[in-house]
Amino acid sequence: MPGSGLATLDEDQKERDLRGMSVGTRKKKAVCLLGGGFANKGAEAMVLTVAEAIRERLPDVSILMRIANLYFADARANGLIPVKADRPTSAASRLLSKARMARIYLKCGALIDVGGYQFGDAWGEQVAWAKSRAVKRSVQFGNLVFFMPQAWGPFSSKGIVDATRTVIETATLSYVRDETSLAAVEKLAGEGNPKVRFAHDIAWNFQGADPSVGLKLIRDAGLSAKAGSLVVCLTPNVRVYERSEGKGADSGYIRCLRDIVDHLCSEHGVQVVLMGHELRRNNSQVMDDRRLCNYLLSCLDESLPVVHLDEVLTAAQVKSVIGNCDLLLSSRYHALIAALSQGIPSAAIGWSHKYDELMAEVGLSSNIISLSKTSEEIRDDVDLIVQRMDVTRSAIGPKTAAMKESGRQALDEVVSRIEERFRG
């Protein structure tokens, strides 16, 4: 792979991309998307939702995306111009990375960061300071910088506080998607800060594939159309696995999921679809959610009606699969949004405040399964979740409609600011 410039999958495509961007600093209108990806389906949904909003209002604007080489084809397939974002591993590669970013700053009028959670104790000072330096440099080039709705905090160390405050004060707008995050941000940036907005996740507005797509994937995996049987989708999270004791099928997290699936099948007669929400093309080298699904399958009775969609799916396909299920049990934030946005009853098996905030806002605080509970308590929680599905389904709609509108308004505000810059 090339070591500098807009590295692409082949030299011919590289030349085409470069020619497309070499018209001049402001003559060629462009926006760059940061913090997204195609491995994590939530990140993919956010990238594509922003890209669609830009194309709808600004069809003549090119959309770049910083992405690892492995996913360049995915970016191009969705009409995006890929820019190399592999992590520098040497002093020379760091210099090349800085040069590449300078070129982006020159060619783009705006940068939009769609990261879902990147500022707080969980990520440390290094991440926050790196972001603050990048934001300051971008603004020095005259660019608009937006952070789309995400989780923030908590902020314990002075370094994280100072770096995050710099990000907020330097960026054009930063959106916060839950009340706990808002309180943390206001504590360091001040209440009523004009550069801070509250808005719900833009993925509420992501469009999934036609329902027939998800149904075919489920059927092709071997799940029968058993009359009267509920279909439950379970999406694990490798981040939760990493925070749990034990490895492989002996992980405390995997054992908990095994008990839940076994109980659902034996006591409620459900059929279960296991599906990852982080699906890496290099999953033989870097663990993704599919590995967890396979761990789980290995410790379940083979006679149970459980299938695993063990393939790399698009965010649109994943949302369609979820929409064909009666209930979602998930440790993935954006899988929960994919379900709730379609009126599908859901329960969270979470690891951070963002899950508590999401479920509380849609009136489903009781649908949080805590890993700290005993096996018996978890089974009791699962029983209640299944028993309340009809009530849950009828209550979701009014709540989620407002959240979709909030996310849409955030998109409109960002695109309007970019439109003002380019039209001006």
Whether 148 contacts 50, CB under 8 Å: yes
154 preceded by a cis bond (ω within 30 of 0): yes
pTM: 0.90
Task: Measure the CA–CA gap between 216 and 210, rounded to whole angstroms.
Answer: 11
Could you tell me which residues are beta bridge partners of residue 313?
none
pLDDT digits (tens, 9 = 90+) for 231-285: 999 999 999 999 999 999 999 999 999 999 999 999 999 999 999 999 999 988 8
pLDDT digits (tens, 9 = 90+) for 85-111: 766 667 776 777 777 778 888 889 999
Please report how the helices 179-189 and 158-170 are oriented relative to each other, as an axis angle in degrees rounded to 10.
90
| Nearest-5° Cα angle at 138, 82 to 315 | 35
pLDDT digits (tens, 9 = 90+) for 334-391: 999 999 999 999 999 976 778 888 999 999 999 999 988 999 999 999 999 999 999 9
Buried b (16+ CB within 10 A) or exposed e, 78-117: bebbbbbbeeeeeeeeeebbeebbebbbebbbbbbbbbbb
Predicted local confidence at residue 15, as pLDDT: 37
Could you tell me which residues are beta bridge partners of residue 152?
119
pLDDT digits (tens, 9 = 90+) for 164-215: 999 999 999 999 999 999 999 999 999 999 999 999 999 999 999 999 999 9
CA atoms within 13 A on the CB side of 101: 24
Task: Measure the CA–CA gap between 174 and 191, rounded to whole angstroms.
Answer: 14
Instruction: Supply the CATH classification number for the domain 11-205+404-423.
Output: 3.40.50.11720
Q: Assign residue 206 a region (left: φ > 0; alpha: ψ between -120 and 50; beta: otherwise).
A: beta
Domain residues of the chain, as ranges?
Answer: 11-205+404-423, 211-400
Other Cβ atoms closer than 10 A to 62: 20
- Topology agreement, domain 11-205+404-423 and domain 211-400: yes
Predicted local confidence at residue 24, as pLDDT: 39
In CATH, the architecture of 211-400 is 3-Layer(aba) Sandwich (3.40)
